[in-house]
Amino acid sequence: MSSEDGKRGGGAGDAVPEQLALIRDAVRKNKAPKAKPRTWRGAALAKELPVARVVVDKGVLHLDRYFDYAVPEELDALAQPGVRVRVRFGAGGRNVREGRREGGSLIDGFLVERVAESDYAGPLAALAQVVSPEPVLGPELLGLARAVADRYAGSLADVLQLAVPPRHGRAEAVEMGGPPPPPVPPDPGSWRRYGRGEEFLRALADGGSPRAVWTALPGPDWAEEIGRAVQATLASGRGALVVVPAGRPAARVDEALRRLLGEGQRALLTADAGQERRYREWLAVRRGAVRAVVGTRAAMFAPVRDLGLVVVWDDGDASHSDDNAPFPHVREVLELRATRDKCGFLLGSWSCTVEAAQLVESGWAAPLVAGREQVRAAAPLVRTVGDGELARDEAARAARLPSLAWQVARDGLRSGPVLVQVPRRGYVPRMACARCREPARCRHCAGPLEAQESAGSLTCGWCGRAEADWHCPECGGHRLRAQIVGARRTAEELGRAFPAVPVRTSGREQVLDTVPGTPALVVSTPGAEPVAEGGYAAALLLDGWAMLGRPDLRAGEEALRRWIGAAALVREQGAGGTVVVVAEPTLRPVQALVRWDPVGHAVRELAERAELGFPPVSRMAAVSGTAQAVAEFLGGVELPSEAEVLGPVPVPVMEAGRARRVGTPPPGEVWERALIRVPPGRGAALAAALKSAQAARMARGGSEGVRIRVDPLDIG
């Protein structure tokens, strides 16, 4: 779309024929018309670079471009690139070129650059106000935001809303000093436990930019190990950025940095800090007063000076995917930053996602793992209870807990707290072979098969095809099973079974950060497990099928990540630490937990997804909306020739926890969703096609919109 189409001004009806004539004459002369350096009222303009290019705070795709405004002389000194401004935009919601001379409403924006002249032929409206002289949008952040918008088929304005925190005047008035002197390179500490750990830190301290996928050993040392990597980067005179999924791990990394760097040497960017403090910390980073940053999701855009290292911890956590358009993921954004800024990259977790395994397999990053002897020394003993044992266990049938779990809990309570992990309510089971538990998938597109309540048939959750004669490709079985979600009364039952032991709960209502090292039962939902002083004596991972039975491609990977996250808080095997997982021991995620081999599990998952054309080997996008809107969108979009459209199929009803991430239709509406899949290397073309089609649809004023999500988390 030409830049002329988006420029401000050109409004009065009698001026339109004159503008068209000027444009036609210019085309004939093969010369673009230029804007006159004047405003509607003839106010005095800046003598140099009188045209300001502004990105307005309108997150709609057909307005995803810069708009030109005149710079009044009185605002010349303040109107510098990167500042927040207010401008008059449009009139009555119409296109800006159809408004009255002084029409339109005031809207916020960012001044991107100053130029001598505009491509637009008519008079330009003037900047209405410079909100603040603080240049909050530098060229590096602007370039990153544009790259993220293009990758996720979104608008620049939407990304900037995520990247630049709201202004707070009192925070801007705070004076800040320069950055502290670089610290000395750190002692490697517990990084010596990893084969190339010392080498990684040495490369950072020497100014290098190593990229690594780090599988952390179980235990509490991960936060200090991240702190030492940050310290090594600062020793080279560069900055470092750490992004974690929630406030509790952010506080742990922040405390580690305080011990290693001292007070005032790092910034903590979390939503819990409040608007003023968060903006003040963000300004300290932008001004260069602080070069070490730790924070949650929004911190992925933090404008760190001389960036030398980006770190993401536990990239499989759903909190790393933003809930607002265009739904960027922390891992992908930090990969972009590592590439654009040529800085180091560290992806760490106790577990390993398929995306992390792909980074290693492609050669983009190197593995950073400990030897098997170190793993065995640090990990607890893992024992399993399968369906066969449950069927023969009288205690399990009566109380829904196997005898082995009761025994391990009783023994563990003699020396410390015992963790009991209970899956969240509401997981919808997927169908699987009753004999070998292999997930039931469509023969056409390999999507998940779902049972219909109104009929006895199976239907693909991706392409909608019915499956009348399913049989398991692994064992040939014809029977299916769906797992029931488990224990809602676990805490009460444990309290009755151990009346003299305190029972603590950690979950949605109240999330505990730490618990004492004294005997107690700690019942927690996945991800809310508190840290026990000295580690847990034992852990019970209940109702494994409730997590393995989710209708999601990532069900096995996510279950293993949740289990390892809880088991990593248990004491090592030499100190008596024991974990009991209630799940079929022959299943791949359970075997990976017993062996403590998350990397091997991720590598095998990656190979299978490559064979079936699943992400991350392929790229996918989801298009959701009413049936008519989705059909119209798919009929108008010009997809790459290699694209494959799966569906559309009805959007299933989700429970509230997952609805926040995947989106559900408004009350009374029935939505459909289509998945679009392209092979490797065509993701950018797919995003561009979707963005172009959505922009054209919005420009036409379509009454029913569709929701586009590139790289959806939940694809069945």
Average pLDDT of span 184-197 = 90
* Rounded Cα gap, residues 184 and 166, in angstroms: 36
Strand partners, 268: 294
Bigger pLDDT: 675 or 547? 675
Q: How confident is the model at residue 614 (pLDDT cuts 50, 70, 90)?
A: confident
Are residues 623 and 561 part of one domain? no
More confident residue, 322 or 699: 322
- Who wins on pLDDT, 489 or 530? 530
Q: For 269-278, which contacts have Cβ atoms below 8 Å and span 24 or more sequence positions?
A: 269/293, 269/294, 269/295, 269/296, 269/298, 269/299, 269/302, 270/295, 270/296, 270/299, 271/247, 271/296, 271/298, 272/247, 275/165, 275/166, 275/168, 276/168, 276/170, 276/171, 277/171, 278/165
**58: how many CB neighbours lie within 10 A of its CB?**
18
Per-residue confidence (pLDDT) for residue 62, from 0 to 100: 81
Q: Say how far apart CA 387 and CA 590 lie, in whole Å.
A: 13
Q: How far apart are CA 657 and CA 485, in angstroms?
A: 15
Together in a domain, 204 and 121: no
Is residue 559 domain-shared with residue 690, that is, in the same domain? no
Burial class of residue 700, CB neighbours in 10 A (0-12, 13-18, 19+): exposed
At residue 390, the pLDDT reads: 59
Q: How far apart are CA 609 and CA 590, in angstroms?
A: 19
Contact 565, 525 (CB under 8 A): no
Q: Are residues 704 and 578 in the same domain?
A: no
40 compared with 587, residue with greater pLDDT: 587
What pLDDT does residue 665 have?
59
pLDDT on residue 492: 67
pLDDT bin (cut points 50, 70, 90) of residue 490 is low
Q: Write down the mean pLDDT value for the chain.
A: 83
Determine, yes or no, domain membership for 411: yes
Q: What share of the chain has pLDDT > 70, as a percent?
A: 83
Within a 10 A sphere around the Cβ of 309, how many other Cβ atoms? 28
Q: What is the DSSP string of 630-685?
A: HHHHHHH----TT-EEEEEEEPPPPPHHHHHHH--PPTT--EEEEEEEE-TT-HHH
Q: Does 164 map to a domain?
A: no
As given in the structure block, the two tokens for residue 14 are 């009698």
φ, ψ (nearest 5 deg) of residue 459: -135, 140
Looking at residue 184, its pLDDT comes to 82
pLDDT of 661 > 50? The answer is no
| In a domain? residue 673 | yes
Q: Are residues 209 and 91 both part of a single domain? A: no
pLDDT attached to residue 15: 40
Out of 595, 628, 647, a domain closes at: 595
Joined together, the tokens standing for residue 431 give 């169908």
Task: Specify whether 623 is located in the same domain as 563.
Answer: no
Where would I find the H helices in 303-345? 330-341
For residues 198 and 343, state if they share a domain: yes
Tokens of 252: 């742990």
According to DSSP, the β-strands at 366-368 and 344-349 are unpaired
Mean pLDDT of 254-282: 91
In this prediction, what percent of the chain has a pLDDT beyond 90?
Answer: 55
Q: What is the mean pLDDT of residues 276-290?
A: 93
Whether residue 471 lies inside any domain: the answer is no
Which has the closest alpha carbon to 626: 662, 668, 672, 666?
Answer: 672
Q: Which residues contact 396 (CB under 8 A, 6 or more apart)?
A: 385, 389, 390, 402, 403
pLDDT (0 to 100) of residue 123:
82
Greater pLDDT, 149 or 525: 149
Residue 185 has a pLDDT of 81
Task: Dig out the tokens for 161 from the structure.
Answer: 């809303």
Point out the least confidently predicted range of 25-29, 325-329, 579-583: 25-29
Model pLDDT, residue 426: 34
Name the residue range of residue 701's domain. 618-710
Q: 335 lies in a domain?
A: yes
Same domain flag for 353 and 423: no
Q: What is the count of structural domains for the chain?
A: 4
Average pLDDT over residues 466-479: 83
* pLDDT band per the 50, 70, 90 thresholds, residue 368: very high
Cα-based angle 306, 295, 524 (whole degrees, multiple of 5): 150
pLDDT score at 667? 54
Question: What average pLDDT score do residues 180-198 get?
Answer: 88
pLDDT grade, residue 91 (50/70/90)? very low
Q: Where is pLDDT greater, at 174 or 335?
A: 335
pLDDT at 356 over 90: yes
CA distance to 334, 685, 704, per residue, from 680 (Å): 20, 11, 32
Q: Are residues 112 and 226 in the same domain?
A: no
pLDDT for residue 389: 64
SS3 32: coil
With residues binned 3-state (H G I as helix, E B as strand, rest as coil), the percentages for the chain, rounded to 5, are 35, 20, 45
* Residue 350 sits in the same domain as residue 212: yes
Q: Which of 24-28, 430-434, 644-648 has the highest mean pLDDT?
A: 644-648
Last residue of a domain, one of 112, 135, 158: 135
Domain assignment of residue 600, yes or no: no
- The answer to whether residues 284 and 195 belong to one domain is yes
What stretch of H or E contains 52?
A: strand 51-56
Final residue of a structural domain among 358, 373, 388: 373
**Per-residue model confidence as pLDDT tens digits over 533-571:** 999 999 999 888 778 877 678 889 999 999 999 999 999
Between 207 and 42, name the one with better pLDDT. 207
Indicate the pairing of strand 105-115 with strand 51-56.
antiparallel
Which pLDDT score, from 0 to 100, does residue 461 have? 74
CATH code of the domain covering residue 411 = 3.40.50
Q: Quick check: 340 pLDDT over 90? A: yes
Query: What digits encode the pLDDT tens for the residues 521-533?
Result: 999 989 899 999 9
- Asked, for residue 178, whether it belongs to a domain, the answer is no
Task: Report whether pLDDT(403) > 90.
Answer: no
Q: Mean pLDDT lowest for which of 93-97, 221-225, 348-352, 467-471?
A: 93-97
Q: Token pair of 248, please?
A: 């509790």
Two tokens at 244?
């974690």
Per-range mean pLDDT, top range of 492-501, 656-665, 680-689: 680-689
Residue 472 has pLDDT above 90, yes or no: no
Contact (Cβ atoms closer than 8 angstroms) between residue 155 and residue 326: yes
CATH code, 654: 3.30.70
Does the residue 171 lie in any domain? Answer: no
- Indicate whether 16 pLDDT > 70: no
Give the three-class secondary structure for 523. strand
Helix pair 555-567, 588-595: axis angle to 10 deg: 30
Cα separation, 423 vs 221, whole angstroms: 26
Q: What tens digit of pLDDT does each residue of 454-463 get?
A: 445 778 877 7
Which residue has tokens 């029409």?
A: 103
Q: Which residues contact 25 (CB under 8 A, 6 or more apart)?
A: none
What CATH number is attached to the domain comprising 252?
A: 3.40.50.300
The predicted structure's pLDDT at residue 92: 32
Q: In terms of domains, do 351 and 398 share one?
A: no
pLDDT at 310 over 90: yes
- pLDDT confidence bin for 715, thresholds 50/70/90: confident
